[in-house]
Amino acid sequence: MRRRLAAALSVILGLSFAVAVPAAASAEPIEVPPVVINEIQPDDPQDAADWVELANTGQADVDLAGWKLRDDKNESTIASGYVVPAGGYLVLSKDAGFSFGLGKSGDEVHLLLPDGTVVDEYAFTELPPGASNASWGRCPDLTGDFGPTAAQTPGEANSCAPDPATSLVINEVESDGGDPADWIELANTSYLPVDASGLILRDNDDTHTFTIPTGTTIPAYGFAAFVVDAGPSAYGLGKADSARLFAADGTTLIDQYSWTAHAATSYGRCPDATGEFELTASVTK
């Protein structure tokens, strides 16, 4: 009798234990709003406060109250009143959105939800030499990878392409006995590649026109030589002549150089790309 009671009791206890354990609840996935870090300025040339630009790629405004911004050491909680408009931008700066400075020689920016979920992040190094008015930004705007921008544009679409008018110069000219014929060399003074498509090279005669082919890109701090004395629009450079670089509109003059006699070698800028023109020691096309 005692054995049957003990067996019955153990069954009851086993059942009660099984009933007492609740099933684990499945975690709801966290929905991350469509906000990205779009541009970072850790070293403003006008000594303005460091800033971070956020962009909203969605169709509804995003309130950042309680969100967090962090660098490699510090963290700030974003106060109420900061909203990234739908399809727009919001610039947060030191003391107006976050409380720490960014390291110009390298740092990190992390954007977090109030619960610590990472929304976006980027680690950067020092901007390249010559990038005094640049920033770190996505190119293409909103969706591309980060890199040095052509110019800082807080609150606006990123500037990703340098202006040929401020980046390209005539660097060397061969007007007699060139290989394979007369040519004009351009230099890119920018830290970014420059699209030279459609730019126009002329001598001192406005009817002589060489149009740089579509798809021509001159690399950062690089060079490209164009043979003007060949092809359907060929013209030779004279003993006393000029080399002129125009924008694609054919009227905006970007750079020019004139000479009064053929060079035994070539005429070129010394120092390269930045100096005045003089007779070169040797041709360096």
* Interval 123-155: pLDDT, tens: 999 999 989 899 999 999 999 999 999 999 999
The predicted model scores a pTM of 0.81
Band (7; pLDDT cuts 50, 70, 90)? very low
pLDDT digits (tens, 9 = 90+) for 232-276: 889 999 999 999 999 999 999 999 999 999 999 999 999 999 999
Helix (H, G, I), strand (E, B) or coil at 159: strand
Q: pLDDT tens digits, residue range 16-37?
A: 344 444 445 555 677 899 999 9
**Strand (E) or helix (H) holding 18:** helix 2-20
Q: Spell out where 29-144 has E strands.
A: 35-41, 51-56, 62-63, 68-70, 75-77, 83-84, 89-94, 97-98, 106-112, 118-125, 136-139
Domains belonging to the chain, first-starting first, are 35-148 (2.60.40.1260), 164-278 (2.60.40.1260)
